[in-house]
Structure 1
Amino acid sequence: MSAEFMLRPAPSEVVRRDWRLPLVAAGVWAAALAGLYGGAVSGLLTMAGCMALAALGFKHDHGFGAAVATVAFGAVLGAGVTAAHVAVRDHAGLAALTASEAHGEAELVVHTVPKQSTRRPETVTATARLRSFSADAGTVEGNWQVLLVASGGEWLEVDAGQRVTVPAVLREAEPGRLTAAVVGARGPPELVGAPTLPHRFAAQVRDRLAAAVEAVPQPEAGLIPALAVGDTSMMDPELAADFRSTGLVHLVVVSGYHLSLIVGAVLAVAVACRAGPRGRVAAGAVAAAAIVVVAGPQPSVLRAAVMAGMTLLALAAGRPRAAMPALATAVLLVVLADPDMAAQPGFALSVAACVGLLLLAFRWATPLEHRDWPQPVALAVTIPVATQVAVTPLLVGLGSGVSLVSVPVNLLAALVAAPVVVLSVGAAAAAAVWVPAGEVAAQLAALPARWLIWLARTGAEVPGALLPVPGGVRWGIGSAVVLAGVVGLLHVRRLRRAVLAVIAAAGLGLVPACLFTGGAPSGWVVTMCDVGQGDALVLPAGDAAVVVDAGPDPALIDACLEALGVERVALLVLSHFHIDHTAGIGGVMEGREVAAILAPPPGEARYGFALVEERAGAVPLLDAVPGAVFEFGSTRLEVLGPPAEPLRGTRSDPNNNSVALRAEVAGTSVLLSGDVELEGQRALLDRAAALDVDVLKVPHHGSSFQVREFLEASDPAVALVGVGAGNEYGHPDPGPLGILEDRGALVFRTDEDGRITVSRNEGRIEVRTED
């Protein structure tokens, strides 16, 4: 959710809203989104069809026909520009190299600062421009947008704007974007030249701010750079998850809220210095440009920057402020400049929040003002409500869940949001000039930051704080229709009180629902939690539970355990220490008693091991020894792997040395295989009798690294796949799933089915999904 405060126009400045620009922007966006999934030819055909539609519609100078023509005109622009970009993306020579996964040397210009993946910190990702690629089949040259995937700390030292060469492999990118390929680096980068001056300036500001916040204790030290310039690299992962689940994430993503505060402060200083209109506009433009350069080309930053530019131009021209045309112009220019923005969730959420602010928040504040509420207080109430309403359909469509505590948390956060952002940005500005001055500003910013940290952590601990709702386009559209109906009824004066009463009653009804509902079904055997691209499974253990892996996100595993009513964990099994299995450990341990942790040797996955060591505290860490048996009530666990002598030299030693367990739950057998790949599965085949089970947790998220004999030996009735929607690894591979289905297994996957619970009642296995 976003909260972008904007000055309300005086009554004399209110003019009849002109919807032509928003309709053109809608047409541009829709055509760009459609064009990204097609080729250049389909884009040109779309453009031709929309030109004919626009010509027919413009015969009507008002009404529905004129509106259709206006949208079609925008679609002509969007389709034409997107077709040109798609033609570059689909270059035949590059497509041939990606299809064959060619190895060679890539020359790249890094576009964004390389960052550790939140799900796999050993992996570094960045967007880049591929200038050339040399392979045995030949050399291609161009300027393609690519996703860079690498490993190694050397990449974290590379700044945006830096040209590099590196041995790499080209792979096909996901459809629906302008990304032409995925460049997998096969070594450290070789730097060529130096970044441009703006990129060097941005790197210096970030480095000096990082030095300044060392004077502040954690977690405040990690939060201040995020509040100032959107740099979350130093932010505690659990705190970042709490910010997401409580709807405070907009504060650590540079957006229109940041630009309005900073540009507004600069304009106030310019007015105090008696600067003229041109001087004020120049000062505001410099401030906005500096934020864009330092924060980088994030979707919300670009949208807000164009809006700020339009507002400054209106100020220079002495025209009344027109926020909706400014937003429409921002969408229009940003999407035409980079059609890839049309497919970016961050851009859509940013625009939706702004639309909610402009169309709903100010209107809803008016009745409160008529009841003598001060305007700032009225807006503090209506802005988070309006923006939450606007972004909810997108959150549902994206499967991100809806925060039930977002509105009250944001109301309380408004007490310090503006001062803490201004102080954080001030710390960055001061540190850029003199680090000791930045340290003082950072210490001042840390005071209100503590309030935000307390709010995020407290809100995240509320039972049912994150409501896991069904995801997908249909559910997103359905929620939009429902919310539009509710908003429409609220604008009918005679029905307003009745609708508000129903909403209040529903809200009060959620309290006992969150506190007292949930729990495992009768005959519960195992639950696979929906934690995105990762694994987390739960089995009964008498009056407690066994948790196998914690997934990548503390909030998601915590929500799953809450839904199952788990208050005590008899054994936490970590199959291996990759981050998609361990980063959620805080969500398992926070507020719950964990008796012991079972895990293999850490091997190369040192980051995950360090994270577990930090969170485990005094909880015993047990070694996984083949043949060891654990019994909890009607649940029996036998350790099958890793081998007593760990496997070495495989494609991924941590994966192949995963803890593999055979569980017996009240007569139902479950094979929990971690991420074992070819070598690990062949090692388990030596114990084929133990592999024949009723339920199989498919190894390594259903990747292509499967041994057919292993899958056939397990011969499950039900196969479970823990996988995130649209993941960058292409999981699951259809081949292994086809083998299981051919043998009669029912395959369930969390990206399509959500949380999956297997139970046995009256001798029959039952599967329940909750998406």
Structure 2
Amino acid sequence: MSYEFALRPAPSEVVRRDWRLPLVAAGVWAAALAGLYGTVASGIVIAAGCLVLVVLGRRWKRGFPAAVATVAFGGLLSAGVTTVHVAVRDHAGLAALTGSEAHGVAELVLHTAPKPSTRRPELVTATARLRSFDADGVVLEGHWQVLLVASGEEWLEVNAGQRLTVPAVLREPDAGRLTAAIVSARGPPETVGALSFPHRIAAHVRERLAIAVGAVPQPEAGLIPALAVGDTSMMDPELAADFRTTGLVHLVVVSGYHLSLVVGAVLAVALACRAGPRGRVAAGSVAIAAIVVVAGPQPSVLRAAVMAGMTLLALAAGRPRAAMPGLATAVLVVVLADPDMAAQAGFALSVAACVGLLFLAFRWARPLEHRGWPQPVALAVTIPLATQVAVTPLLIGLGSGVSLVSVPVNVLAALVAAPVVVLSVGAAAVAAVWLPAGAFAAQLAAVPARWLIWLARNGAEIPGALVPVPGGVWWGLGSAAAMAVLVLLLQMRRVRVPVLAVLVAAGLGTVPACLMTGGPPSGWVVTMCDVGQGDALVLPAGDAVVVVDVGPEPAAVDACLDELEVDRIALLVLSHFHIDHTAGIAGAMEGRAVDAILAPPPGEAQYGYELVEERAGAVPVLEAVPGEVFEFGATRLEVLGPPAEPLSGTRSDPNNNSVAVRAEVAGTSVLLTGDVELEGQRALLSGGAALGVDVLKVPHHGSSFQVREFLEAADPAVALVGVGAGNEYGHPDPGPLGVLEEGGALVFRTDEAGRITVVRNGNVFEVTTVN
């Protein structure tokens, strides 16, 4: 007797991946991004074009034309929604006020809690809704999305959801967003009414957690709120920079990782309590809502919340989870609800990391599992690698650099990542109800948090940990193509081993380059470090160096000094106390001896002064006196400014009272001017000092506040401009640069050239750049 059985097909032969929803999501995202950079008219054109493709696509059922029609359907939806938002953004009345930088009283409702700006920590920023603006009795009312920029500690006490009024100036926003204006506050806020119930809960949780971590020493106390609810306001700025350098920043931004851990824990408890599907869905939904309310509407939070919601719906329907449709739905829903998300880097990085996880991490883990690796161990290796591959093109496109230590650091961080996040979230939840228990939970969370801190600090100190790479759209697209080719090659068994061998060899080959930085070249005169929107310059001083300003971030100036092999600073000159010249002081002093600091009186820039005073410790701080001379080997510095009687009543007194020095380095003259503007430059002209030099550090990042006679008197052969790419100030202005070029100067900018070093060989100047 014989029996015949029909073999069950493999799952891959039964279930075909449906790409329609991801294609619709791609169309939604692309059309929203295009619409944000356009006008109402261009939005209508995009919608009309998508409609034509959709109509034509009805004839096609499959293949490339059908895929195009599916993308166009998403574009049609998004173009319509985005055009409506753009029409509100481009309101003629508001545009007139921002164009004239109108002064008045703004009534706002905060969407996010004010927090220190990453570029300028003395300022706080928040997204808000502008309800009305009263300019000299003329009131304009509406509902516009705006960016609030303010200063003062009182702003850090204001919570998300608060309605307030504040004297302010309206300024034009950057293009490509739904932000209709920048509201620059000119005073403290005056709150109106009480917070809504959800916002009161969020404020209560954050406040109680801040109290609970008081029982924990720093820097763990600042890290726990970041791990729990994404609140980085208490986190040490230097540690935050180390987390970015080592690729651990995703742990301090509430994302899908946090939601999966928290919702998973809640569902496990519900299952242990024998809750049915509806009960588990209800418990998971409450957990998701609580995280969104407390963490705020961050891009990664919203994307993860929608994905988690789709998973719970699938659970309630009794259907298996489909991760890719869930991700596509998250993109579709979030972008249609708020088209501005399409232009946010955080949202794009979050989605890219999920794509890497879904498409690559589990597939790469299978060969390791077949070789006997436990699945958690295999995934601990492949998840960081896959997400790094997915986000690298975006990081390159954004000009953020590529971390060479991200994968190994994240593999080691996986040992404690889940426990420390769960304990931190638990500390926040428990502290909201019972403070002593919350403090105990925070102390428990501090134990594994120390491992993350050790990893971040030591990983960031590895030479070459963060590789600066050229940024921009084309570099991003090129790197994406290269990554795609690499992934395809790794899928081919015949070439997999040779490709891996080449990658390993290339990786080992970078080790000597990272460990051997080489130091400054022979004949070195001055180096301008690339620190973004700020200044940091280094001059030789015998067996040490003179550093003039330290930029806005510790990591950038620290890396530059490492590459120059600096271990002692004979004199640290701080031209003035604005953050873009002082906030990097921790990086400059990290592991280096500093003999003395030269600085002007603090004036109005108290925040930067307090930052320097706290970090300086026992290092003597000298006050700059005109005519004073410092000599270090073949380098001589003469102080030219500020005047003995500080300038007052100018557009910016701290800028105009900058320390200006003339340096002579082995016969080469260098004029370092800080941020002196019109009045400060005229004071230098009238002071009778010798201003003609070989190298000029262009004042105030090349802003428009320049005196032509001053630039002509300097008459440099080389002009250096410290400026950040795409900065919001419009620096440098083409006018002053044109004056310098007319005089025969070669102008170099850090946003275009990166780190700039001037070398003199005989009578010839050589300028080298490292981008």
Q: TM-score range by the shorter chain?
A: over 0.9
Encode CA deviations 1:453-476: one digit per residue, 9 max, x unaligned. Answer: 111111111111111111111211
Deviation at 1:53, TM superposition (A): 2.2
Deviation at 1:392, TM superposition (A): 0.7
- Assess if the C-alpha contact under 8 Å between 1:229 and 1:291 holds in 2: yes
Encode CA deviations 1:295-354: one digit per residue, 9 max, x unaligned. Answer: 011111111111111111111111111111111110111111111111111111111111
Bigger Cα displacement from structure 2, 538-547 vs 274-283: 538-547
SS where residue 187 of structure 1 aligns? Answer: coil
Q: Report the CA distance shift for 1:143/1:518 in structure 2 as closer, same or farther (over 3 A).
A: farther
Match of 2:715 in 1: 715
- Assess if the C-alpha contact under 8 Å between 2:638 and 2:661 holds in 1: yes
Match of 1:223 in 2: 223
Deviation at 1:685, TM superposition (A): 1.5
1:323-402 → structure 2 map (5 Å cutoff): 323-402=323-402
- Assess if the C-alpha contact under 8 Å between 1:549 and 1:582 holds in 2: yes
The amino acid of 2:733's aligned partner reads D
Match of 1:435 in 2: 435
SS where residue 561 of structure 1 aligns? Answer: helix
Deviation at 1:603, TM superposition (A): 2.4
Match of 2:3 in 1: none
Bigger Cα displacement from structure 2, 27-36 vs 364-373: 27-36
1:228-307 → structure 2 map (5 Å cutoff): 228-307=228-307
The CA distance in 2 between the partners of 1:743 and 1:133, in whole Å, is 47
Match of 2:199 in 1: 199
1:621 paired with 2:621, answer yes
For normalisation by structure 2, the TM-score amounts to 0.96
Match of 1:587 in 2: 587
Encode CA deviations 1:619-661: one digit per residue, 9 max, x unaligned. Answer: 3322222112222233221111112222233333322221111
Deviation at 1:688, TM superposition (A): 5.0
The CA distance in 2 between the partners of 1:182 and 1:25, in whole Å, is 30
Bigger Cα displacement from structure 2, 375-384 vs 427-436: 427-436
The amino acid of 2:299's aligned partner reads P
Match of 1:33 in 2: 33
For normalisation by structure 1, the TM-score amounts to 0.96
Match of 2:4 in 1: none
Match of 1:7 in 2: none
Deviation at 1:83, TM superposition (A): 1.1
- Assess if the C-alpha contact under 8 Å between 2:694 and 2:716 holds in 1: yes
The amino acid of 2:419's aligned partner reads P
The CA distance in 1 between the partners of 2:718 and 2:59, in whole Å, is 61
- Assess if the C-alpha contact under 8 Å between 1:688 and 1:713 holds in 2: no
Match of 2:563 in 1: 563
- Assess if the C-alpha contact under 8 Å between 2:490 and 2:496 holds in 1: yes
The CA distance in 1 between the partners of 2:572 and 2:402, in whole Å, is 28
The amino acid of 1:98's aligned partner reads T
- Assess if the C-alpha contact under 8 Å between 2:570 and 2:596 holds in 1: yes
Deviation at 1:183, TM superposition (A): 0.9
- Assess if the C-alpha contact under 8 Å between 2:122 and 2:608 holds in 1: no
The CA distance in 2 between the partners of 1:213 and 1:614, in whole Å, is 22
- Assess if the C-alpha contact under 8 Å between 1:704 and 1:735 holds in 2: yes
The CA distance in 2 between the partners of 1:611 and 1:14, in whole Å, is 63
The CA distance in 1 between the partners of 2:12 and 2:50, in whole Å, is 39
The CA distance in 2 between the partners of 1:727 and 1:392, in whole Å, is 23
Encode CA deviations 1:342-372: one digit per residue, 9 max, x unaligned. Answer: 1111111111111101110000000000001
The amino acid of 2:553's aligned partner reads D
Bigger Cα displacement from structure 2, 638-647 vs 729-738: 729-738
Match of 2:745 in 1: 745
SS where residue 690 of structure 1 aligns? Answer: coil
Deviation at 1:698, TM superposition (A): 1.6
Bigger Cα displacement from structure 2, 715-724 vs 237-246: 715-724
SS where residue 224 of structure 2 aligns? Answer: helix
The CA distance in 2 between the partners of 1:30 and 1:768, in whole Å, is 40
Deviation at 1:770, TM superposition (A): 2.1
Match of 1:85 in 2: 85
Match of 2:690 in 1: 690
SS where residue 44 of structure 1 aligns? Answer: helix
Bigger Cα displacement from structure 2, 714-723 vs 434-443: 714-723
Match of 1:600 in 2: 600
Match of 2:650 in 1: 650
The CA distance in 2 between the partners of 1:191 and 1:158, in whole Å, is 8
The CA distance in 2 between the partners of 1:402 and 1:269, in whole Å, is 40
- Assess if the C-alpha contact under 8 Å between 1:13 and 1:320 holds in 2: no
The CA distance in 1 between the partners of 2:130 and 2:13, in whole Å, is 49
Deviation at 1:741, TM superposition (A): 3.1
The amino acid of 1:438's aligned partner reads G
Match of 1:6 in 2: none
1:159 paired with 2:159, answer yes
The amino acid of 2:450's aligned partner reads R
The CA distance in 2 between the partners of 1:12 and 1:508, in whole Å, is 39
The amino acid of 1:320's aligned partner reads P
- Assess if the C-alpha contact under 8 Å between 2:626 and 2:644 holds in 1: yes
The CA distance in 2 between the partners of 1:626 and 1:384, in whole Å, is 55
SS where residue 274 of structure 2 aligns? Answer: coil
SS where residue 74 of structure 1 aligns? Answer: helix
- Assess if the C-alpha contact under 8 Å between 2:635 and 2:663 holds in 1: yes
Deviation at 1:689, TM superposition (A): 4.5
SS where residue 691 of structure 1 aligns? Answer: coil
Match of 1:770 in 2: 770
Deviation at 1:57, TM superposition (A): 3.4
Q: Report the CA distance shift for 1:720/1:137 in structure 2 as closer, same or farther (over 3 A).
A: farther
Bigger Cα displacement from structure 2, 540-549 vs 742-751: 742-751
Match of 1:108 in 2: 108
Match of 1:60 in 2: 60
Bigger Cα displacement from structure 2, 106-115 vs 630-639: 630-639
The CA distance in 2 between the partners of 1:139 and 1:744, in whole Å, is 52
Q: Report the CA distance shift for 1:196/1:733 in structure 2 as closer, same or farther (over 3 A).
A: farther
Match of 2:732 in 1: 732
- Assess if the C-alpha contact under 8 Å between 2:517 and 2:564 holds in 1: no
The amino acid of 2:218's aligned partner reads Q
The CA distance in 2 between the partners of 1:605 and 1:117, in whole Å, is 16
The amino acid of 2:701's aligned partner reads H
Deviation at 1:391, TM superposition (A): 0.7
Q: Report the CA distance shift for 1:283/1:12 in structure 2 as closer, same or farther (over 3 A).
A: farther
1:3-82 → structure 2 map (5 Å cutoff): 15-82=15-82
The CA distance in 1 between the partners of 2:411 and 2:102, in whole Å, is 53
Unaligned runs of 5+ in 1: 1-9
SS where residue 71 of structure 1 aligns? Answer: helix
Deviation at 1:14, TM superposition (A): 8.8
Encode CA deviations 1:516-535: one digit per residue, 9 max, x unaligned. Answer: 13422333222211111111
Encode CA deviations 1:413-460: one digit per residue, 9 max, x unaligned. Answer: 100000000000000001111111110110100110111111111111
Deviation at 1:178, TM superposition (A): 0.6
Deviation at 1:84, TM superposition (A): 1.0
Bigger Cα displacement from structure 2, 531-540 vs 279-288: 531-540
Bigger Cα displacement from structure 2, 690-699 vs 526-535: 690-699
Deviation at 1:676, TM superposition (A): 1.6
State how many pairs are aligned: 762
Match of 1:3 in 2: none
- Assess if the C-alpha contact under 8 Å between 1:721 and 1:749 holds in 2: yes
The CA distance in 1 between the partners of 2:64 and 2:668, in whole Å, is 62
Match of 2:174 in 1: 174
- Assess if the C-alpha contact under 8 Å between 1:58 and 1:65 holds in 2: no
Deviation at 1:404, TM superposition (A): 0.9
Bigger Cα displacement from structure 2, 394-403 vs 153-162: 153-162
Q: Report the CA distance shift for 1:607/1:623 in structure 2 as closer, same or farther (over 3 A).
A: same
Bigger Cα displacement from structure 2, 645-654 vs 177-186: 645-654
Deviation at 1:396, TM superposition (A): 0.9
Q: How large is the RMSD of aligned CA atoms in angstroms?
A: 1.7
- Assess if the C-alpha contact under 8 Å between 1:119 and 1:583 holds in 2: no
The CA distance in 1 between the partners of 2:170 and 2:751, in whole Å, is 26
The CA distance in 1 between the partners of 2:11 and 2:552, in whole Å, is 50
The CA distance in 1 between the partners of 2:558 and 2:427, in whole Å, is 35
Match of 1:5 in 2: none
SS where residue 690 of structure 2 aligns? Answer: helix
Encode CA deviations 1:179-234: one digit per residue, 9 max, x unaligned. Answer: 11111111111211112111111111101100111011111110000000000000
The CA distance in 2 between the partners of 1:426 and 1:736, in whole Å, is 56
The CA distance in 2 between the partners of 1:227 and 1:694, in whole Å, is 50
